[in-house]
Amino acid sequence: MTTTQPARTAESSYFRRLPIGAEVLPGQGVHFRLWAPRANEAVVVFENGALPELKLERETGGYFSGKSADARPGMLYRFRFHGRDLLLPDPAARFQPSGPHGPSQIVDPSTFHWTDDGWRGISPEGQVLYEMHIGTFTPEGTFAAAQEQLNELKELGVTCVEVMPVADFPGRFGWGYDGVNFFAPTHLYGQPDDFRKFIDHAHAIGLGVILDVVYNHFGPDGNYLKEFSPDYFTDHYKTDWGEAINYDGENSAPVREFFISNARHWIEEYHLDGFRFDATQNIYDSSREHILAAVAATARRSAGKRSIYLVNENEPQHTTIVRPREKGGYGMDALWNDDFHHSALVMLTGRREAYYSDYRGQPQEFISAAKFGYLFQGQRYRWQKQRRGTPTYDLAPSAFVNFIENHDQVANLPQGLRTHQMCGPGHYRAMVALLLLMPGTPMLFQGQEFAASSGFYFFADHNAELNRLIRKGRAEFLKQFPSAASPGMEERFADPSDIKTFERCKVDLSERTKPFHAEIYQLYRDLLRLRRSEPALRGRWPGGLDGAVLGPRSFCLRYFSSDGNDRLAMFNFDGDHHLEIAPEPLLAPALGCTWRVQWSSEDPKYGGHGTIPLDSEENWWLPGHSAVVLQPARCGIDERDPDHARERQRIKK
């Protein structure tokens, strides 16, 4: 399905959907177009002599193009420049069946039969995200195998799958953030149509799918872009992973076109529901229109009537990204909230090393995160020796994606531990409740929902020298944590290039039904059901939530409802806590009501120890290491009291 109008190329009579790559022309063969401004001549070489070489015509602006009437989908090809023996894959190849170093394959996306004509996409409100690495989510590590699990995720309460990068990368395994073929889903996970089937099935059962894209750098292995033009990159900026991409320098217009076309490609040819943009702090652009704003606008136009969802990772917490274009923003929808994660891990583990050092894990941090999203909105951040964040007061709660696990944060621990492996079960259940009852958008990392025993480590498979450098770099990175730099720790670091490291990350989905894991799985299912079924928890209207600190490690959140049917959530990460005096108005029930327990993390079905009434004649008792949701229960009303009578009528309405 193409929702944007095709465009005529600069000096060609052929209409193309995208300005670069090999496009199948119905009944006319295949049209090739690439940007190689320093080449004198460009030729398409078909693999194994399947067709004669095709000399491309030079256009202005450094482009070459041409049509082969006999080329067909499935054929393999590469490019060769005049006077050179090197054969190069297409930078905009739709598939690399042998990986980044092999030939490109002609793909016709129009032959796939979509069944999602009625799908209208997803909006920022009400989402529950699930981060998935296709290669480790199932034993097979394929799109097809992952597709078989989508129904289970839907039943769990997930609304949108966030797929870690699939742009093709070298080697037998990898995270995907070192991709080099940005238009080609990796051959390791299946064929392009397998990814389309994954998305089509997701839509059929009511799940959205967004893709993690890396527009801040290319991987170091299999990256041939400099052979086409060194202007893809710039030395004016530095990134943490490689050369910066040239979005604003000399000859940057075709580079911008490459990425804008890439966003169109994924939306139009794969019906994706949006993107998660990796490390946008390393996307440097001083142009009048920032490349992220241009990509966002193009993606929305490409989706036509479908709504798409655009999420960002931005370490310095620049909220301009999610502000409307008319207010000077980029027009995106949401930002990952590292602040919440860091506070949560400090609360659960007591460890405050490295980038956790500016957090206390104290109740007020969680109340503030629930009300305002980011904790750092311009204050001094000691760890970085600079200010961090920008104001968020005018942003909706859905603008913040909260999590207690993701691929980075699990792998950044020297032993790749899951959150539940670093704290007591009561603490973990209470923190899961906080995550899923927060006003923001919750995100789960694969296997988190049943406390998977498999950890997650950084893994990448390259040549021997690059593997050595990656091992060294990874060890240096982990040593920012003083405990990881202590004697005997480095020998425990997982080797990123060892296939055993990759295999240790495979999620064992059978754990869903095993003791302990099944209890946690039920915890997540029930909390997600509660989240979507209770109007007070679902509603995110201004002033709809407030909170109060009740003790050194205890606090409450009050969810106000327009009909008076409020909810009160009590969180206690300490031992049993008796509030003998309770001068806190948020604890007071509505007029004519009392509080009763609606849900408790200490329910025996989750492995808990049971829950006593919290509000009694002895005032408030908060069970240790617990989260409890209270709902109003009617009690006697004095009809002679006019305030009570009015309250009764309001409740009836």
**Catalytic (active-site) positions:** 278, 313
**What size, in residues, is the chain?**
653
Estimate the crossing angle of helix 252-270 against helix 192-204, to 10 degrees: 60
Distance CA 377, CA 392 (A): 7
Structure tokens at 485: 């730099």
Do 311 and 278 contact (CB within 8 A), yes or no? Answer: no
Per-residue HEC secondary structure of 180-193 comes to CEEEEECHHHCCHH
Buried b (16+ CB within 10 A) or exposed e, 504-537: bbbbebebbeeeebbbbbbbbebbbebbeebebb
Distance CA 356, CA 412 (A): 12
- Which residue's entry shows tokens 């041409």? 66
Phi, psi angle pair for 214, to nearest 5°: -115, 95
Distance CA 451, CA 311 (A): 25
Distance CA 387, CA 378 (A): 5
Find how far residue 190's CA is from the centre of its chain.
22
372, 286, 266, 349: which is closest to 3 by C-alpha? 266
Phi, psi angle pair for 434, to nearest 5°: -60, -45
What amino acid is encoded at 173 in this protein? F
Distance CA 387, CA 599 (A): 40
Do 158 and 531 contact (CB within 8 A), yes or no? Answer: no
Please calculate the CA angle 209-215-216 and round it to the nearest 5 degrees. Answer: 135
What amino acid is encoded at 407 in this protein? H
Q: What's the distance, Cα to Cα, between the start and end of the chain in Å?
A: 48
Structure tokens at 625: 């290491």
Partner residues linked to 88 by β-bridges: 79
Per-residue HEC secondary structure of 426-460 comes to HHHHHHHHHHHHCCCEEEEECCHHHCCCCCCCCCE
Distance CA 32, CA 352 (A): 55
Phi, psi angle pair for 205, to nearest 5°: -105, 5
Query: Residue 646's CB: how many other CB atoms inside 10 A?
Result: 11
What amino acid is encoded at 446 in this protein? Q
257, 207, 261, 197: which is closest to 232 by C-alpha? 257
Do 47 and 77 contact (CB within 8 A), yes or no? Answer: yes
Distance CA 132, CA 198 (A): 13
Q: Could you tell me which residues come within 8 angstroms of residue 475 by beta carbon, excluding any fewer than 6 positions away?
A: 490, 493
Structure tokens at 236: 């004016």
Partner residues linked to 570 by β-bridges: 556, 628
